[in-house]
Amino acid sequence: MHIAQIGEAVLKQQAHDVPAEAFGTTELKGFTEGLLQTMLDANGVGIAAPQVFDGRAMMYVASRPSPRYPDAPQMEPLLLINPRIISQSDKWVWAWEGCLSVPALRGFIQRPDQVDVSYQDIDGKHCQIHFEGFLARIFLHEHDHLIGKTWLDHVTSTEQIMAESVWLQQVAGVSGTAH
């Protein structure tokens, strides 16, 4: 799958819910497998369907350490279909973010530190989950893609933007470059 890049119209569009009749289909299963593989191939920790030109409301949260996120916690990839924010914390934190659709840049973005979410799994079962810290940040970042936003929509100053190569050296303490 091809990852949409900043400036492409799909990244500004509102995603639509996956309808009940789509759950359990081989098409949905095949798409979600391809979405996960695309994220893994790009060394991401999350991805949303609009990033691969699909307007359905689904995403993966898949934290793991990588050159892009060396301190990320390890988790099994979690598919969230038709996710809804139930509540989020009043405590907001600043951190650097990257995006597969905004290559070579990082943004210093403020987001809630915790979020409670309802969603459906691949079979349509209704579930709830609580995310904190980096996992909350991943979810909220991917949720932005479902409502037509990227981290760039949260920037209030150009001082909040850095080339990823500079970020890797100055902030992450990694020599060389990674994607």
Q: Is residue 175 part of a domain?
A: no
pLDDT digits (tens, 9 = 90+) for 120-131: 999 999 999 999
Among 76, 97, 132, 142, the one annotated catalytic: 142
Q: How far is the C-alpha of 95 from the C-alpha of 103, rounded, in Å? A: 17
Q: Is residue 94 part of a domain?
A: yes
Q: Is 101 exposed, middle or buried (0-12, 13-18, 19+ CB in 10 A)?
A: buried
H helices, E strands: number in the chain: 3, 8
Strand order in the sheet with 114-120: 46-48, 58-61, 78-88, 114-120, 126-132
The answer to whether 164 is a known catalytic residue is no
Q: Is residue 83 part of a domain?
A: yes
Residue 143's SS3 state is helix
At residue 70 the predicted structure's pLDDT band, cuts being 50, 70 and 90, is: confident
Q: Residues of the chain with pLDDT > 70: what percent?
A: 97
Asked if residues 146 and 50 have their Cβ atoms less than 8 Å apart, the reply is: yes
- Which residue, chain included where needed, has tokens 């119209």? 9
For residue 27, what are its two tokens?
């098409």
β-pairing verdict for 92-99 and 126-132: unpaired
CATH of the domain at 130: 3.90.45.10
Q: Is residue 59 part of a domain?
A: yes
Q: For residue 154, say whether it is annotated as part of any ligand binding site.
A: no
Say whether pLDDT at 75 is over 50: yes
Q: Which domain holds residue 160?
A: 9-170
Q: Is residue 2 part of a domain?
A: no
Q: For residue 141, say whether it is annotated as part of any ligand binding site.
A: yes
Asked if residues 72 and 45 have their Cβ atoms less than 8 Å apart, the reply is: yes
Closest C-alpha among 96, 113, 120 to residue 170: 96
For residue 112, what are its two tokens?
């809630």
Residues 6+ apart with CB under 8 A from 21: none
Q: Is residue 77 part of a domain?
A: yes
* Predicted TM-score of the model (pTM): 0.93
Q: For residue 16, say whether it is annotated as part of any ligand binding site.
A: no
Q: Is residue 73 part of a domain?
A: yes
In the chain, the number of structural domains is: 1
At residue 176 the predicted structure's pLDDT band, cuts being 50, 70 and 90, is: low
Residue 82's SS3 state is strand
Q: Is residue 134 part of a domain?
A: yes
